[in-house]
Amino acid sequence: MKTLIALRPRAVLGVALLSAAALTLGAQTLTPEQVRQLRQEAATAESALGRVLQRAETPDLRTDARTASEAVSRIGAQLDACMERLARAEAAQTADPYGGGQKYPAAANVEIKPFDVPVGATVVHVPVTLDRPSPNTVIAFVRVFDGQGGRAAPDTTKAVIFRPGDPLTKTASFSVRNMSEGNSVTAVQPTVPDGGNRKGGNILITAKAGAVNAPVEGGRKPLAFKPQGTPTYSATGQTILFDDHGGPMRFSTALAHGRTQVGNGETGYYGTVDRRGFSRTPDGLALDSRRLDQPVKVGSPATEYPFLATMLSGHRTPETQFRYGSVEWVAKMPNRFGAWPALWLLPTRGWPPEIDVYEGFGYNGSWKFPRSLSTNLHGGDKQIRTFTRPAMGMTMDTFGLPATLDSDFHAFGVTVEPEWITMFVDGVETMRYANPFKGETWYPLANVAVKAKVDDPYTAGTGAMILRSIKVWRAE
């Protein structure tokens, strides 16, 4: 019996020391529950050692037990400190799940699965499902086309819009024919969803006796643009003021950091007023882009910029700056391949973050200037981007709007609230994001960048954005 008692504290001591090493190596990956369990085990060991000390019959045994007890006590203190750190981290995560604008919840996965429809069906309702609630609008695209005997009538693609808070399953309805027993049509997500991830591939929709296929109703209607706050700036294309520096009531023709965007691979130089990139027309203020007679050389060694780009930035225009509020631009877009027009917001403290209300990716061959739309959030800090949540597949047709972005004027709006950032076109909500950038002070920008190849003649179509008006409302 004495031998067993003598071995026990030594064994506990060994386990305690190994636990300490494991804690040091693994503390960064332990969950709060694992730490709590270890703390309970440490408390059990302390109690057992206390009993050993009471029964120890030799000085050596008492010394060993005391040494083990002290080691376990130190481990308990480390575990207590670890539990406190994890509790603080949990509290911080609950208070700010966005890490001060440096992270965003994982994008929802969008999936369609095979299903059956009644024999003779002339309409199929395709269920589209998100695997989790989304902090931002998700727009899924579903195409139904001919399958095995069944026929799409016609082969077409439709959008399914999930706004934050909507049910996780919705349906898109398609006309079909020839759906006799065993025949099928095929469905697929042809593109990555806006604001989400695509999961799975083609599915079959099969006619089967006794099958039931009904539409799934639910979800809120799109919001209408209602400016938040009081007006602080309003100007038309005839009255917008700007110069090369910027100031009260005057936009700057440069970005806050200069006249080039090396990181974007842009080949256009944001010109000063004397380069004649701006002109007032009967329709509004034209922000032009064109090939320069002589490239502008910047830096050492010099980088050559063969094209003129144009910029209106409010970084020195206090009337346009707000923490929460709304901005509306009314504009007609260019349609020249290589042009990159944008309407966006930046914070006064520097990039990132960034809110892109509209971008026209004219350097992308799939971009269609009359109809394509895009929005985005960029998060991070101190010139380092840590997340982005783009939406680049939606079009004017998605929202029942005319595909005339390059031939007519349209209103592009954004409202920034403490909880939400919401985008609008012609007063109709297009995208909504949970706001990860609470407390930032924003200013608006309107520009036409150029991302054309240096040998591109850059003469097709028009390279000018026509700006009819800019309005800013400030709620805070």
- pLDDT tens, residue by residue, 52-62: 877 877 888 87
| Sequence ranges of the domains in the chain | 2-95, 109-207, 230-474
Virtual torsion, Cα 255, 258, 264, 268, nearest 10 deg: 90
**Residue 6 confidence (pLDDT):** 41
- Angstrom distance (rounded) from CA 361 to CA 369: 8
pLDDT of 92 over the 60 cut: no
Q: Quick one: pLDDT band at residue 78, thresholds 50, 70, 90?
A: confident
pLDDT of 463 over the 60 cut: yes
Strand-pairing partners, residue 224, are 428
Could you report the per-residue pLDDT of 349-377, keeping only the tens digit for each?
999 999 999 999 999 999 999 999 999 99
Mean pLDDT for the chain? 91
Per cent of the chain over pLDDT 90 is 78
Could you report the per-residue pLDDT of 9-55, keeping only the tens digit for each?
454 445 444 444 444 444 456 777 788 888 888 888 878 877 887 78
Q: Quick one: pLDDT band at residue 389, thresholds 50, 70, 90?
A: very high
Could you report the per-residue pLDDT of 138-185, keeping only the tens digit for each?
999 999 999 999 999 999 999 999 999 999 999 999 999 999 999 999
Tokens representing 455? Answer: 């040998």
CA proximity to 38, closest of 57, 55, 15: 15
**Residue 12 confidence (pLDDT):** 47
Q: At the topology level of CATH, where does 230-474 sit?
A: Jelly Rolls (2.60.120)
Looking at domain 109-207, its CATH class is mainly beta
Q: Which residues of 376-396 are buried (b: 16+ CB within 10 A; e: fewer)?
A: bbbbbbeeeeebebbbbbbbb
Q: Quick one: pLDDT band at residue 436, thresholds 50, 70, 90?
A: very high
Q: Quick one: pLDDT band at residue 90, thresholds 50, 70, 90?
A: low
Could you report the per-residue pLDDT of 270-304, keeping only the tens digit for each?
999 999 999 999 999 999 999 999 999 999 899 99
Q: Quick one: pLDDT band at residue 70, thresholds 50, 70, 90?
A: confident
**Residue 48 confidence (pLDDT):** 82
Question: 242: helix, coil or strand?
Answer: strand
Whole-Å CA distances, 162 to 329, 398, 436, 471: 26, 13, 19, 29
**Residue 13 confidence (pLDDT):** 46
**Residue 89 confidence (pLDDT):** 59
**Residue 156 confidence (pLDDT):** 97
Segment holding 416, helix H or strand E:
strand 410-416
